[in-house]
């Protein structure tokens, strides 16, 4: 067993550890990130609507997946911001670029969600 396996565990222990870490990360994002809270609330409202308005399982899957993608990208964006902030508080061109790229990724995910919803519901 390697050192990393001892830390993370194996088999079911590893799965339970991963679930615990995931819950911790989601809770931290919800507690500390206003944008994530807003997106979670929007998803809570739109998820039942997606399930109701989608006429086929594929349409429902597309509508729901596009919503979840926004949350996933927001979590990744938050992770980038936390790492950049951890490195230092000094302004640096690359730190700003990293944060801007993360923000752009969230914007693209939101745009994709809008496009999917329009195409599914008006198509």
Which residues are known catalytic residues?
A: 74
Q: What are the tokens at 98?
A: 């990293």
Is residue 40 within 8 A of residue 71, CB to CB? The reply is yes
SS3 2: coil
DSSP conformational letter for 123: -
| Element spanning 17, H or E | helix 11-32
- Cα–Cα distance, 64 to 66 (Å, whole number): 5
């Amino acid at each position: 067993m390697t050192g990393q396996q001892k830390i993370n565990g194996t088999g079911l222990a590893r799965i339970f550890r991963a679930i615990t870490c995931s819950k911790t990360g989601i809770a931290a994002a919800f507690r500390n990130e206003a944008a994530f809270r807003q997106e979670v609330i929007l998803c809570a409202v739109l998820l039942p609507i997606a399930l109701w308005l989608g006429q086929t399982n594929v349409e429902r899957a597309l509508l729901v997946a596009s919503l979840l993608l926004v949350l996933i990208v927001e979590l990744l964006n938050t992770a980038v911001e936390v790492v950049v902030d951890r490195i230092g508080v000094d302004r640096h061109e690359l730190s700003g670029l990293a944060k801007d790229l993360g923000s752009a990724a969230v914007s693209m995910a939101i745009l994709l969600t809008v496009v999917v919803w329009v195409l599914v519901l008006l198509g």
